[in-house]
Structure 1
Amino acid sequence: MNNPNHNFSRLDRKKKRKDKILNVLIAAVVVAIVITSSIIFLGGDKEQSDKEDVKNNEEIVEQNKDDEVSKEEDPSLHDEEVEEENVDIIDEDTELEEVEDVEITVDPNDPIVSQSIVNPAWEPIGTEQTGEHASVYKRDSIDWIEKERALTYATGLSADNMIIWKLKNGGSPQKSIGIVSSKDKTEKYQVFLEWVDNEGWKPVKMDVLTTLDFNY
């Protein structure tokens, strides 16, 4: 005769085994779902990021192409750049030539003259005088007026901003010396002039003075 309790225990063990297997299967399914979801989510983000990077790169390349086309379509922009570069080069060369040509000397023992300048580019200022030249030191004479023009030419001072402190013989009838300054006395010069026949007075040397307080 069978024992009912024995049969019940066997059924109970079978049920527990089935429940255990079912739980394992459920857990495996959950893990599989989590893994699949993670792959889909992360992969989607990466794909979206890659698409955005590609789009941005395409926009940058397209912009660069547009800039290049704009420069090619407007050649005047390139011409202006070249012209500006050429102007700079010409200016630099001119300044170098001027520095090389102009002779500047300094005598540390001369308290009156800060520097002496000889510029080979100086030329005779022209003249209205004819015949044999005679140097005249009388204001309003043509010779005086032409000496004054030579002084403004050498110093760069305008006639209405220049005081002539002294205009005298420079050691011969065809040489003169002018002591001049700007009206505010910030610029002070001693200019040596020589007469060139039929061409007028020519500056040959200019001293930049430190003071006007000396014996002219």
Structure 2
Amino acid sequence: MSNEEKPYPSRLKKKKNRSNSILNIMIGLVFALILIIGVSMLFSGGNDQAQDLEPVTISPETEEQTSGSGESESAGTEEEPDEDAEVADEEKAVAEKAEEEKAQKEAKKAEEEKEGSVTKGGTITREDSSDPIVEETVINTSWEPVGTKQKGDHVSVYQKDSADWNEKVKAVAYATGLDANNMYVMMIKNGGGPQKSIATVQSKDESEKYRVHMEWVDGEGWKPVKMDVLKTLEGAY
């Protein structure tokens, strides 16, 4: 029989339990380490991708172009108020010119309102009218026939764009001072005789309205004899 002492079973059991505890702790540490590394990689993945992007290098030329573009855009933005100011100035100038022309027209009208004011070759007479739609009636003794291309005996024609119709329109433009292309011919009708006509017209901006009485002069064409300055076209024809 050997004199070597053998460990008691209880001591062996305690030693085995201690080894198991250490092993479990190490396994837990390894698992925790793996978990920490995994979480760290997960959250650092986005940063890594961002870091993997190649940095953009701006050359002096590119920087100058970018700066120039910014200055151009800024300049363009600053020009807008100037454009608005220019438009406002133009509108103001147009309005002032219109007011000036209106004042000149009124002054001229006031001057011509004098009874029997003299014109080249005749006089202009302005008379009040009893007709409620007529502002005044004008008679200008200097009016002359507008000429004609018609031959032979004259027959008044009221068909639009006929030779006689166009010569009537010419006489109306002559009397009113309106351009034939800047007026609406509302009506041309018989003026009480075979060689008399009455035309009612207005300017295209509708600011001027007239009724012109005219007579035919053989070989010389239509001659205005009287003109009504109208307040309205209602009941004028």
Q: TM-score, normalised by structure 2?
A: 0.49
Query: Using the alignment, how far apart are the partners of 1:198 and 1:149 within structure 2?
Result: 16
Determine which of 172, 180, 183 is the counterpart of 2:204: 183
What CA distance in whole angstroms lies between the structure 2 residues aligned with 1:101 and 1:159? 25
- Structure having the higher helix fraction is 1
Residue 170 (1) aligns with residue 191 (2): yes
Aligned partners of 2:131, 2:155: CA distance in 1, in Å? 33
Instruction: Mark the CA change 1:162 to 1:215 in structure 2 (over 3 Å): closer, same or farther.
Output: closer
Give aligned pairs, total. Answer: 122
1:117 aligns with 2:138: yes
The share of aligned pairs that are identical, in percent, is: 55
Bigger RCO (CA 8 Å, 6+ sep): 1
Report SS of the residue matched to 1:97.
strand
3-state SS of paired residue (2:155) = coil
RMSD: 2.1
Aligned to 1:127: 148
2:217 counterpart (186, 189, 196): 196
Instruction: Tell me the alpha carbon deviations over residues 37-80 of structure 1, each in whole angstroms, 9 at most, x when there is no partner.
Output: xxxxxxxxxxxxxxxxxxxxxxxxxxxxxxxxxxxxxxxxxxxx
Deviation at 1:110, TM superposition (A): 2.4
The runs of 5 or more residues in structure 1 that have no matched partner are: 1-91
Local SS of the residue matching 2:118: helix
Letter in 2 for 1:102: I
Q: 2 CA distance for matches of 1:183 and 1:193?
A: 22
1:138 matched to 2:159? The reply is yes
1:20-35 equivalences under 5 Å are none
Residue 213 (structure 1) shift: 1.3
TM-score (norm. length: structure 1)? 0.54
Shift of 1:215: 5.2
- What is the alpha-carbon distance in structure 2 between the residues aligned to residue 189 and residue 132 of structure 1? 29
